[in-house]
Chains A and B, each alone.
Chain A
Amino acid sequence: MENWVLTWPQYQVLLTGLRGTLLILFWSFLLGVVLSLIFGVARLSPREWIRGAALVYVEFARGISSVILLFIMAIAIPILLQVGQAPLLMLAAIALGINMGGYGAEIVRGSINAIPKGQTEACVALNLSPTQRLRHVVLPQAMRIILPPMGNLTIEILKGTALVSLIGFGDLMQQTRNLIQSQLAAGVAGVTVLFVNVLVIYFIVAQVINGLFRLGEWRLNKRFEERTGRSAVAVGEVHA
């Protein structure tokens, strides 16, 4: 049986890579959330052309493979638009963010649909503008339904960030490749052990993300119960 633990310098290299992974996860998550909110709401717009445009975006983002989108973004788009070489971080974050936005928009749409009609009708009766209605009434309630699938989606995006190593961004996977190169040069075996460690690191990060979303869910539910005096579970079951 081989030794399953790496040396500290190796872990230092991996941690540098982890920083790149988290950086790209952060930016693509941010872009993904913004896109999902915009297009999720746009898919319920009363205007037909807005709904159609949002549908085209969602179908495109959900239909294309994230790795192909990543390569198009990193290789074809800069040359097609003649913008020169943009930073890889930005290109990768845009590609992953577009991908996440497509799935997120459907989550947002489904959650808004799950909010009882009476809430919207009450807003109309109170003469709130559509923006106020969304901002103060519908979205805060939809948020509790959005969070659990959004957590799963974030873990999917974390898994997607490994792909950016294929276009040469220095994430965890790329640093692993670098380590392998140096190991091969030094004639040291044990590539499989290295990958097991990398997999465990990804697993831990995924569990941390999972925990953060659970925490957010718990806090939202607590606040909801305090303010309305209703049990959050009973309302959540409307959706399920």
Chain B
Amino acid sequence: MSGTTTEPEVPEVPEADAEAKLAYEPHKKWYRRPEVVIPLVVVLAGYVLLITVDPGSQRYRSAFTADPDQRVDWAYWFHLVPQMLTGLYILVRATLLGFTLAVVLGFFLALGRRSTHRWLQLPVAFLIEFIRSTPLLVQLVFLQALVRATPVISLSVVETLVVGLGIHYGTYTSESYRAGINSVPKGQWEAATALNLSPVTKWTQIIIPQAVPNVLPALGNNLIAGFKDAPMGGPALGVPCLLFFANWIRADDFRPVEPFLLIGVGFLMASLPAAWALRRLEERIEYERE
């Protein structure tokens, strides 16, 4: 059953960190260390900003006629960029909201998975395995059908995508939490027991501080994986994001080349820096742990 529980990636071989000169201060509390607090504040502020900004008009149309003789009309291409950015923004926002849901949901799933009650642990383990090995696309469409069949619940298409992403990646984050907690050496647990620490002290002072550096890169990987899965909400559910934009423009102008290549480029512009930032984070954590 646990065959699919590890991440498909092989960990990067850590390279020599250019900033190895930085002072190593593990004795300081994390909230007193500027190199931890400043990125944290920046990320949180960026998150709030991204979630609250209004995406503006979501009606995609081109007021520009492309030259039919050219295979790729660059003027037409650049004319489409602002609308593509709207689609990208909606995509990023849905991913972030879905991932927030996944982080919270994954915590409870991990708790259930670690439970000592068999009747709780086994169903949760099966549920995680089931959701992890079935396609997100089918889950999204299933969720939409379920919402439509239940008169009490009503979700917009974006909300359906957010909930679907949240549930799917919640199972992934729960596995990340579990791996992070299991990676805390056994001696730490035994020492906490030997010192007669209360469960609260044991978790908040011993286990979680040591698990966080292991969990963070895995969570980042999940976020990027979620971002790569989110565009399917366009054609599957009708979320006005990247693919929806491209399909719309294609139907309008019968020019498929520019919008589709444009969303490919736009997506890479967002996902490659995110992957790069994650790798930096991994290197930093690797450096601190040594």
Q: What is the interface of chain A, defined by CB distance below 8 A to chain B?
A: 59-60, 62-69, 71-72, 75-76, 79-80, 82, 103, 106-107, 109-111, 113, 148-149, 151-153, 155-156, 158-163, 165-166, 173, 176, 189, 191-192, 195-196, 198-199, 202-203, 206-207, 210, 213-214
Q: Is the Cβ of B272 less than 8 Å from the Cβ of A72?
A: no
Instruction: Please report which residues of chain B, range 253-273, place their CB below 8 angstroms from some CB of chain A when the two chains form the complex.
Output: 256-257, 260-261, 263-264, 267-268, 271-272
Given A153-B8, A160-B135, A162-B138, output 13 extra A-B contacts at Cβ < 8 Å.
A64-B268, A67-B229, A68-B243, A71-B246, A103-B9, A110-B11, A149-B8, A152-B4, A152-B8, A155-B4, A155-B133, A166-B137, A192-B145
* Chain B 235-260: CB-based contact to A (< 8 A → 1; otherwise 0): 11000001100100010000011001
The 3 A-B residue pairs with the shortest CB-CB distance, nearest first, are A110-B10, A162-B135, A206-B133
Name the contact of B3 in the complex, choosing from A69, A196, A213 (C-beta under 8 A): A213
B22 close to A (CB within 8 Å) = no
Measured CB to CB, the closest approach of chain B to A164, in angstroms, equals 10
With A63-B275, A64-B267, A72-B261 as contacts: A203 and B9 at CB distance below 8 Å: no
The closest CB in chain B to the CB of A73 belongs to B260
Report the bound CA distance from A15 to B2 in whole Å.
27
Q: Is the Cβ of B145 less than 8 Å from the Cβ of A163?
A: no
Chain A contacts of B72 at CB under 8 A?
A: 80
Report the bound CA distance from A113 to B9 in whole Å.
14
- Count residues on chain B whose CB falls below 8 Å from chain A CBs: 47
Chain A contacts of B212 at CB under 8 A?
A: none
Measured CB to CB, the closest approach of chain B to A150, in angstroms, equals 8
The binding surface of chain B is classed by DSSP as helix
Q: Is the Cβ of A80 less than 8 Å from the Cβ of B257?
A: yes
B228 close to A (CB within 8 Å) = yes
The closest CB in chain B to the CB of A239 belongs to B10
Q: Is the Cβ of A195 less than 8 Å from the Cβ of B145?
A: yes
Q: Is the Cβ of B130 less than 8 Å from the Cβ of A72?
A: no
Report the bound CA distance from A206 to B132 in whole Å.
10
* Chain B 139-183: CB-based contact to A (< 8 A → 1; otherwise 0): 101100110010000000000000000000000000000000000
Report the bound CA distance from A206 to B4 in whole Å.
9
The closest CB in chain B to the CB of A198 belongs to B138
With A62-B275, A65-B228 as contacts: A199 and B138 at CB distance below 8 Å: yes
Report the bound CA distance from A60 to B72 in whole Å.
21
Q: Is the Cβ of B257 less than 8 Å from the Cβ of A76?
A: yes
Chain B contacts of A62 at CB under 8 A?
A: 275
B223 close to A (CB within 8 Å) = no
